[in-house]
Amino acid sequence: MTPKSAAAAAGATVHGYPRQGGNRELKKAIEGYWKGKVTADTLRTTAEELRRTNRRQLAEAGIAEVPTGDFSFYDHVLDTSVMVGAVPERHRAAVDTDALDGYFAMARGTQEVAPLEMTKWFDTNYHYLVPELGPDTVFAADSTKQVAELREALADGLTARPVLVGPVTYLLLAKPAPGVDPSFEPITLLDRLLPVYTEVLADLRAAGAEWVQLDEPALVQDRTPAELNAAGRALRDLGALTDRPKLLVASYFDRLGDALPVLAKSPVEGLAIDFTGPAAANLAELAAAGGVPDKRLVAGVIDGRNVWINDLTASLGVLATLLGLAGSVDVAPSCSLLHVPLDATAERDLDPQVSRWLAFARQKAEETVTLARALREGTDTVTARLRANAADLASRAGSALTHDPAVRERAAAVTDADARRSQPYAERAVAQRERLGLPLLPVTTIGSFPQTDELRVARADLRAKRIDATGYEERIAAEIREVVSFQEKAGVDVLVHGEAERNDMVQYFAEKLNGYLATRHGWVQSYGTRYVRPPILAGDISRPEPMTVPWTTYAQSLTDRPVKGMLTGPVTMLAWSFVRDDQPLGETARQVALALREEVLDLEKAGTAVIQVDEPALRETLPLRAADHAAYLGWATESFRLATAGVQPQTQIHTHMCYAEFGDVIAAIDDLDADVISLEAARSHMQVADELAAHGYPREVGPGVYDIHSPRVPDTAEVVALLKRGLGAIPAERLWVNPDCGLKTRGWPEVRAALENLVAAARGTREAL
């Protein structure tokens, strides 16, 4: 095919669409079903209506081929487990009794059985349920859901393309089932899984699918030659089938690298490739490989994960190049639109100027259609649209929100020395010990205390104007008094104020910093029926006034023991927001760091001797490709140090991370140069302590001795045993005693009992030293 006919064919499509509906109707229906207030039939009807609305929205925007099967009651990887019959043994009875209840049992567990494990979908904040497989797994095809959703779309008279998680990605995301040898590699089940996909493909073809999409995002991660071989073999086998629809293999989130030639050589009819962000390199790599002249290319030129309008002219440039590299070219967002909110026009509270910079799912679909039309019919047919787009981009680039000269000046003036403490750790530690006078094995917590119903009511009352700011602050102050007095009585050594005033550790600061926007309806699925509304980091970041000093100093005024200041670090402030895409992340992180640095110094000036800067997102933000890790860790650790290094040697800097597996960032953790780090460790029996010791980590460490993910209260003997394990790796002079993470999701009775046990265990262990 010539490039010209490739252009003539150009259509618009998307890989997936938000599931929840404009008012999170899906969440309400599912949670209603769980409570017994919504029947299964009503739930199914609600879901069907939402799918129809979504398809209509896409079709009316001009999307020529709509996706099906992207809808889910909980998670599309769990749906895939159902499709291939990989139901864990412990859920079998529930699934056999009632498919829907069994499905939710796998997702959420029941009184009797644990759910599947949940983890992050690549480097997004969406969580999937991890398939559990073993050498005895027997797969069996169940294409019911896929076929039904395809039929719905076809009945509406639409061209529809079922989207499946591909077999290779499915296996690479799986883990050995409980009881199976942990060294078992699920990818070894490929030959057993392919016949199931063969059957599903045949069913979909029989139901009327011309094309089926196989999502293989696992191919953008670093893969071994054996894994790439497996992928090549899977596509060869599926390609060789006679009774099958045309296959479109999709990848997204990063560049394909060595997987690109595997896909290009495979006998599938189409490839969907991401050309945005770190995946922009796919363009040059595709050209270098000679393109895919025999294939349909679905070009992901619109970033499916951010909230910003596309540079349509720039995308047309990319598309023009791609026309020469493929048999035909369609336009699409880079990945499913699941990761962005539904509709930017719902944000009526935003400055209208600023809302023109935003594109959520609906707007991205519209951009996709515009680009396809320009490609097909010529840019003259969309001149007005391109002009408006250029004007919006110019307004963003020239706005005072995105370019604050004072912020820019400050960021440009940063020197290496600003990101270095004035004394090395060993010397500071002496000064801190003298100032704080803490006992060995000091007890502290991670920051938050239970977010009680009273606190939630207070926030709702404030929002509904039933109380004024003064009334609200009185309630917060009362809670802080309670938290401080409990800690004093219990014998905690370094106190916290409890974070009663914080709805969320990122949103709280986003609301106080210049440069962030808040949405009213910008919900995105985090997992199941849990949706989050990430703030939007839109502009240059500055701090108009102290954010935490008043509550911290109030708490300190109530006690003679040190109260720890509590801040969220720059990487986490970026990771849990939608971040501007018009400058490198490292630059944005630096601006946030400088704002936090002011806060840190103000806290210090107010007499705060211990300041904690949380970075739970440090590891999850790690780029997918190992080749990109060093650059990321470079700016990530620098921004942390920039936020914290301005303090006096005798001021103690803490940090906190919520996970126990961090082998690949251990050097970076050292590089943060924090005086004390607390980590999750209770479930892994203090293994982190051994790992840090093996690395030669020289600073103080608080491996968690209280698993806060469970309502269980650890008894004193159990904590003592964990502390003994910790002491085997970390000397008593450097070991802290603390829970795994914040206590905000726990209830007061458990927290009281658990912390009293922690103190008793610390004291007992101390005396026995």
Q: Which is nearer to Zn ion, 448 or 519 (CB)?
A: 448
What is the number of H-type helices and E-type strands within the chain?
A: 29, 21
Query: How do strand 326-333 and strand 292-302 relate by DSSP bridges?
Result: parallel
Query: What's the CA gap between 325 and 645, in Å, rounded?
Result: 50
Q: Which is nearer to Zn ion, 467 or 741 (CB)?
A: 741
Smallest distance, Å, CB 401 to Zn ion? 32
**Token couple for 47:** 């879901």
- Is 476 annotated in some ligand binding site? no
- Is 658 annotated in some ligand binding site? yes
**Position 656 contacts ligand GLN (CB under 6 A):** yes
Cα within 13 Å of Cα(665), Cβ side: 24
Binding mask 657-696 for Zn ion (x = CB under 5 A): -x--------------------------------------
Q: Which is nearer to Zn ion, 45 or 745 (CB)?
A: 745
What angle (nearest 5°) sits at the alpha carbon of residue 167, between those of residues 55 and 249?
55
Q: What H or E segment, with its residue span, contains residue 17?
A: none
- Lay out the sheet containing 326-333: strands in order across: 65-68, 159-165, 211-215, 246-250, 270-274, 292-302, 326-333
Q: Decide: 304 and 331 in contact? Cβ < 8 Å.
A: no
Smallest distance, Å, CB 116 to ligand GLN? 22
Q: Which is nearer to ligand GLN, 194 or 446 (CB)?
A: 446
Q: 445 to 464, contacts with ligand GLN by CB under 6 A?
A: 446-448
Q: 469 to 488, contacts with Zn ion by CB under 5 A?
A: none
- Is 25 annotated in some ligand binding site? yes
**Position 741 contacts Zn ion (CB under 5 A):** yes
Smallest distance, Å, CB 572 to ligand GLN? 8
Q: How far is CA 702 from CA 600, 657, 734, 736, in A?
A: 21, 11, 8, 4
Q: Which is nearer to ligand GLN, 592 or 658 (CB)?
A: 658
**Position 616 contacts ligand GLN (CB under 6 A):** yes
- Is 134 annotated in some ligand binding site? no
Q: What H or E segment, with its residue span, contains residue 515?
A: strand 514-517
Q: 549 to 568, contacts with ligand GLN by CB under 6 A?
A: 566
Smallest distance, Å, CB 483 to ligand GLN? 12
**Position 744 contacts ligand GLN (CB under 6 A):** yes
Active site residue 127: no
Q: Which stretch binds Zn ion (CB under 5 A): 454-462, 591-599, 613-621, 629-637?
A: 613-621
Q: Which is nearer to ligand GLN, 419 or 506 (CB)?
A: 506
Instruction: Please report where in the chains the tokens 């968690």 appear, as a residue.
Output: 704
**Position 658 contacts ligand GLN (CB under 6 A):** yes
Q: Which is nearer to ligand GLN, 81 or 448 (CB)?
A: 448
**Position 505 contacts ligand GLN (CB under 6 A):** yes
What angle (nearest 5°) sits at the alpha carbon of residue 441, between those of residues 437 and 443?
85
Among residues 166, 291, 565, 742, the one that binds ligand GLN under rule CB under 6 A: 742
- Is 671 annotated in some ligand binding site? yes
Closest C-alpha among 88, 75, 80, 79 to residue 178:
88
Out of ligand GLN, Zn ion, none, what residue 319 binds, judged by CB under 5 to 8 A for its kind, is none
- Is 733 annotated in some ligand binding site? no
DSSP character at residue 514 = E
Q: Which stretch binds Zn ion (CB under 5 A): 275-283, 620-628, 636-644, 741-749?
A: 741-749
Out of Zn ion, ligand GLN, none, what residue 448 binds, judged by CB under 5 to 8 A for its kind, is ligand GLN
**Position 741 contacts ligand GLN (CB under 6 A):** yes
Out of ligand GLN, Zn ion, none, what residue 566 binds, judged by CB under 5 to 8 A for its kind, is ligand GLN
Instruction: Please report where in the chains the tokens 């640095």 appear, as a residue.
Output: 597
Out of ligand GLN, Zn ion, none, what residue 171 binds, judged by CB under 5 to 8 A for its kind, is none
Q: Decide: 128 and 136 in contact? Cβ < 8 Å.
A: no
Q: Which stretch binds Zn ion (CB under 5 A): 35-43, 251-259, 382-390, 610-618?
A: 610-618
Kindly name the residue from 76, 339, 629, 709 that is annotated as catalytic. 709
Rounded to 10 degrees, the C-alpha dihedral 183/186/189/193 comes to 170
Q: Which stretch binds ligand GLN (CB under 6 A): 120-128, 316-324, 440-448, 573-581?
A: 440-448
Query: What's the CA gap between 278 and 511, in Å, rounded?
Result: 29
Closest C-alpha among 610, 613, 601 to residue 495:
610
Q: Which is nearer to ligand GLN, 308 or 486 (CB)?
A: 486
Count, residues in the chain: 769
Question: What are the contacts of 278-282 at 24+ separation with CB within 8 A?
Answer: 278/253, 278/254, 278/623, 278/624, 278/625, 278/628, 279/220, 279/252, 279/253, 279/254, 279/255, 279/334, 280/255, 281/255, 282/255, 282/256
Q: How many residues bind ligand GLN (CB under 6 A)?
A: 13
Smallest distance, Å, CB 701 to ligand GLN? 16
**Token couple for 352:** 């209208």
Binding mask 516-555 for ligand GLN (x = CB under 6 A): ----------------------------------------
The neighbour count for residue 416, using CB atoms within 10 Å, is: 8
**What residues contact residue 353 under an 8 Å CB cut-off, 6+ apart?**
395, 399
Q: Which is nearer to Zn ion, 65 or 740 (CB)?
A: 740
The three-state DSSP-derived secondary structure of 577-643 is CEECCCCCHHHHHHHHHHHHHHHHHHHHHCCCCEEEEECCCCCCCCCCCHHHHHHHHHHHHHHHHHH
- Is 266 annotated in some ligand binding site? no
Q: Which is nearer to ligand GLN, 94 or 611 (CB)?
A: 611
Query: What's the CA gap between 584 and 95, in Å, rounded?
Result: 48
Smallest distance, Å, CB 508 to ligand GLN? 10
Q: Which stretch binds ligand GLN (CB under 6 A): 32-40, 181-189, 441-449, 639-647?
A: 441-449
Query: What's the CA gap between 167 and 169, in Å, rounded?
Result: 6
- Is 614 annotated in some ligand binding site? yes
- Write b or e for each residue in 438-453: b if 16 or more Cβ atoms lie within 10 A of its Cβ, otherwise e: bebbbbbbbbbbbbee
Q: Which stretch binds ligand GLN (CB under 6 A): 410-418, 682-690, 736-744, 748-756?
A: 736-744
DSSP character at residue 130 = P
Q: How many residues bind Zn ion (CB under 5 A)?
A: 3
The amino acid sitting at 276 is: T
- Is 620 annotated in some ligand binding site? yes
Comparing every residue's Cβ against ligand GLN, the nearest one is 742
Active-site residue set: 709
Q: Name the binding residues for L-homocysteine.
A: 446-448, 499, 614
Give the interface with ligand GLN as residue ranges (CB under 6 A): 446-448, 499, 505, 566, 614, 616, 656, 658, 741-742, 744
Binding site for Zn ion (CB under 5 A): 616, 658, 741
Annotated binding site for 5-methyltetrahydropteroyltri-L-glutamate: 24-27, 120, 125, 576, 620
